[in-house]
Amino acid sequence: MAILNVNDTAFSGTDSEVIQKTIDQAKTGDTVVVPRLNKRTGENVWSIAKAIRVKSGITLLLDNAVLVQGRGYYDNLITNEPGASDFRILGEGNVTLSGGEHNYLLESTANTLGMPAITKNAMFYFENASDFEVSSVRCIMPRWTTLYLKDCKNAVLSKIRFDMIPHVQRLRGIIIDKGCRDITLDTILGRTGEDTVFLKAMGDTDVKNIENIKMRNICTDSGRLPMIRIFADSGNRIQNIVMDTLMDSSDYYEKQRPAAAIAFQMSGEAQVSAAAPNPVHAKVIAKTPAKLGDIAGIRATGIFSRALSAVFFALPVSESEFNGFYTFGDIVYVLNGSDKGELRKVSFDRVYYGKGSAPNNLNQFIGRAAKGSVAVKMDQVRGDYEIKNVLSEEEN
Amino acid sequence: MEELKLRGYVTPEDFTGSDNEKLQKAMNTAVELDIRKVLIEKEYQVTGTVYIPEEIEVIFKSGSTVSGNGVVLANQVANEPEKCSWSFENGRIYLKGEKGAKISGNVRLFHAGESVLDTLSIDGKVTFEFCREIRMEDCVVSSEEDAAVTLMRGCNNFIMQRNELQAKKIGILIDTSLAEGDYVIGKDTENHELIIRDNICRAEKAVAIYAREAEKVFNVQLDHTACDNEAGEIGRAEEKIGAENYFNLTVVDFIGEKKALQVNNETKHCYFGE
């Protein structure tokens, strides 16, 4: 099991080429090290114009390294060889992965006028990969979603820190697309421009499920959008999702609350609140809306939120449990939903509505109770659900 | 210097002087040359605090020791605080230990952010004051003082997992009334967004959480703590304050406690359990 430092090879070429050739040369069990110093340029940065493709059996160790996506290029920073398995991408120390200067590839410009698919702008793009790990990296200024997984199995994404300023739209943390199963997200920190995690099972071609996703210690500021977004349509299913401790770390001194801790909703769909109206986006009409049973087996505990709604239902959800809502600051609703929400055998326990108990010096928020704000606003949501142990002394 | 850059790390043995001087020069040079990595491989006896600059990784290799009295390691900012500065902070310090490495003495982080203590073995106490976004995992802390790990005022966004903590009185102490350093205008003095789980605490009390009036402790998930004596307490029996100062706390799932968690103060929206 060799350790191959990309600086110690005789390979020539661009930074991407040198790293890639080192990986290509590595054998199963080897570790490829990208150190801080780029010996070829003498700088402490690696400019990546073409995606680094990891292959089966290797560990890519980023040792206090700074990798920046190349200016004007349309490619991921890191992706996998088709079918790759048993690989690790690990950070050590101060690793920074940066999207660099944006390349103007947006969701609105993708696949037009010669522009590639938007997925080329994901910092990490994994498709059809299994048994892999990404850990201990800090991702800044991404060009789109930072980590995108599709048709992946048995993966761990841990100790990942996002530092995003929403200079463009759709700067999400992690998208888990359909076909993914047995994925663990553990200790996810920092600030995302939009959803920190999006479970997305959409579209009527290639119907597949997202199953067995565990999220633990998600402690982020998701901008104005939900921390966790879950959406399915067209027969795709999302099943067995465990969320253990979601903590809103948004700075109540400085910015508006997020839309939700957990939203069963597509982005772009209007979430209209009489108490706190939001700008209305164009409605997204699902091709075939999800039906009861498609999104099931959701278990969430320990939701610490100051969002507009701690949980928002605009989709059918069944056989699920939500325990322990601890809300604070300028929270408007704990449980909320639209007429698209429908529940079957869903229970809520320990719903603590702490609106108004804002931190020190936040006088501008205390008492600024939006009219009509209450802990539970589920009058539009159909179906059967049970709510137990609501502590709410601050209704308006 | 070029050699050090190519090598990718600095060690105290690259310098001469007392152990304190060698360690400090290693830290400072790692930053000056933008190498950002210090390997400590030998045994060092320090007579004063070694100050760690920001954006640096310090790895305590197997067999290494850093020993001294009092605070042996602190972040640079603890040395000469600039008062009245809102942006005053030290960030992105990674302290990592290998099996068999030992720090004998106290570790103090003061106005530190986005930093990590990983797999360290510390014979001494660890204190945090005005720290944010700290991850402390898989560390072993053994202190002869009252508390093994203390979160003093102004600590938020902590994740502390899988640590083994031993002290005379308290394993994990969260107390907003505690202050050692100077206050910086505008800094939040409350403790909040703390995730503390799967720790082993050997002390009279596994955990203790103390707030004071208008300096709350809130948004805390503290669970799966193994202990060999009392689970601990929330609030001081002799000092009652408003319930809103202990807010949104989940403190549950103690294992092995001889006495259940004592809640000495009114609380708000908290969930306590065995």
Q: How far does the CA of residue B94 sit from the closest CA of chain A (Å)? A: 6
Task: Flag if B188 and A94 touch (Cβ within 8 Å).
Answer: no
Task: Flag if A189 and B55 touch (Cβ within 8 Å).
Answer: no
Pairing of strands A96-98, A130-140: parallel
Tell me the chain A residues in contact with residue B6 when contact means C-beta distances shorter than 8 Å: 7, 37, 39
Alpha helices in A37-121 (DSSP H): none
Quote the CA–CA distance of B67 and B19 in Å, as a whole number: 10
Which amino acid is residue B152, in one-letter code? M
Tell me the chain B residues in contact with residue A304 when contact means C-beta distances shorter than 8 Å: 193, 219, 221, 248
CB atoms within 10 A of CB A114: 7
| DSSP β-bridge partners for residue A242 | A214, A299
- Give residues with Cβ within 8 angstroms of B243, minimum separation 6: B265, B266, B267, B268
DSSP 8-state class, residue A44:
S
Q: Does A324 touch chain B (CB under 8 A)?
A: yes
Task: Flag if B6 and A324 touch (Cβ within 8 Å).
Answer: no
DSSP 8-state class, residue B215:
B
CB B205 within 8 Å of CB B175: no
- Give residues with Cβ within 8 angstroms of B187, minimum separation 6: B86, B111, B130, B154
A2 CB burial (10 A radius; 0-12, 13-18, 19+) = exposed
CB A330 within 8 Å of CB A217: no
| DSSP β-bridge partners for residue A346 | A320, A385
H or E, element range at A17 = helix A15-25
Nearest residue in chain A measured CA to CA from B35 = A36
Tokens of B14: 């690259």
Tokens of A6: 């990309």
Task: Flag if A161 and B192 touch (Cβ within 8 Å).
Answer: no
| DSSP β-bridge partners for residue A392 | A353
- Give residues with Cβ within 8 angstroms of A205, minimum separation 6: none
Which amino acid is residue A328, in one-letter code? F
In this prediction the ipTM stands at: 0.94
Q: Does A45 touch chain B (CB under 8 A)?
A: no
Q: What is the pLDDT of residue A348?
A: 96
Q: From the list A36, A217, A253, which residue is nearest B159 (CB)?
A: A217
Q: Does B237 touch chain A (CB under 8 A)?
A: no
| Across A98-107, A248-257, B124-133, least confident range | A248-257
Q: Does A7 touch chain B (CB under 8 A)?
A: yes
pLDDT tens figures, A262-319? 999 987 543 333 333 333 333 445 578 999 999 999 999 999 998 889 999 999 999 9
Selected residues 47-76 of chain A with any CB under 8 Å from a CB in chain B:
63-64
Tell me the chain A residues in contact with residue B138 when contact means C-beta distances shorter than 8 Å: none
Tokens of A260: 């939700």
Q: Does A39 touch chain B (CB under 8 A)?
A: yes
pLDDT confidence bin for A342, thresholds 50/70/90 = very high
| Across A274-288, B135-149, B159-173, B218-232, least confident range | A274-288
Summary count for chain B: helices (H), strands (E): 2, 25
Quote the CA–CA distance of A168 and A271 in Å, as a whole number: 21
Q: What value does the mean pLDDT take over residues A39-61?
A: 96
Q: Does B175 touch chain A (CB under 8 A)?
A: no
User: Is it the case that residue B203 has pLDDT exceeding 50?
Assistant: yes
Tell me the chain B residues in contact with residue A327 when contact means C-beta distances shorter than 8 Å: 248
User: Is it the case that residue A365 has pLDDT exceeding 90?
Assistant: no
CB atoms within 10 A of CB A263: 31
pLDDT confidence bin for A356, thresholds 50/70/90 = low
Q: What is the pLDDT of residue A372?
A: 55
Tokens of A189: 């920190």
- Give residues with Cβ within 8 angstroms of A234, minimum separation 6: A202, A203, A204, A207, A286, A287, A288
| DSSP β-bridge partners for residue B243 | none
Instruction: Kindly report the pTM of this predicted structure.
Output: 0.93
pLDDT confidence bin for A394, thresholds 50/70/90 = low
Q: How far does the CA of residue A222 sit from the closest CA of chain B (Å)? A: 15
Whose tokens are 């020190």? That residue is A360
Nearest residue in chain B measured CA to CA from A357 = B244
Quote the CA–CA distance of A226 and A267 in Å, as a whole number: 9
3-state secondary structure of B32: helix
Mutate to test the interface with B, among A138, A216, A249 (most CBs of B within 10 A): A249
CB B187 within 8 Å of CB B220: no
DSSP 8-state class, residue B162:
S
Task: Flag if B6 and A360 touch (Cβ within 8 Å).
Answer: no
Which amino acid is residue A343, in one-letter code? L
Q: What value does the mean pLDDT take over residues A57-70?
A: 97
Which amino acid is residue A28, in one-letter code? T
Q: What is the dihedral of CA A98, A100, A103, A107, to 10 degrees?
A: 30
Q: What value does the mean pLDDT take over residues A95-110?
A: 93
Which amino acid is residue A268, in one-letter code? G
Quote the CA–CA distance of A208 and A202 in Å, as a whole number: 9
pLDDT confidence bin for B194, thresholds 50/70/90 = very high
Q: What is the pLDDT of residue A17?
A: 96
Task: Flag if A94 and B216 touch (Cβ within 8 Å).
Answer: no
pLDDT tens figures, A236-269? 999 999 999 999 998 766 667 889 999 999 875 4
pLDDT confidence bin for A332, thresholds 50/70/90 = confident
CB atoms within 10 A of CB A212: 17
Cα dist. A89→A54, A171, A311 in Å? 9, 21, 33
Tell me the chain B residues in contact with residue A92 when contact means C-beta distances shorter than 8 Å: 57
Cα dist. B160→B32, B119, B140, B151, B222 in Å? 31, 12, 12, 11, 9
Nearest residue in chain A measured CA to CA from B59 = A93
Identify which of A189, A185, A179, A181 has the alpha carbon closest to the alpha carbon of residue A154.
Answer: A181
Q: How far does the CA of residue B21 sit from the closest CA of chain A (Å)? A: 23
Phi-psi region of B57 (alpha: psi -120 to 50; beta: other; left: phi over 0): beta
Nearest residue in chain B measured CA to CA from A323 = B271
- Give residues with Cβ within 8 angstroms of B14, minimum separation 6: B4, B25, B26, B29
Q: Does B187 touch chain A (CB under 8 A)?
A: no
CB A153 within 8 Å of CB A180: yes
User: Is it the case that residue B146 has pLDDT exceeding 60?
Assistant: yes
Tokens of A213: 């996703």
Quote the CA–CA distance of A244 and A219 in Å, as a whole number: 11
Q: What value does the mean pLDDT take over residues A94-119?
A: 92
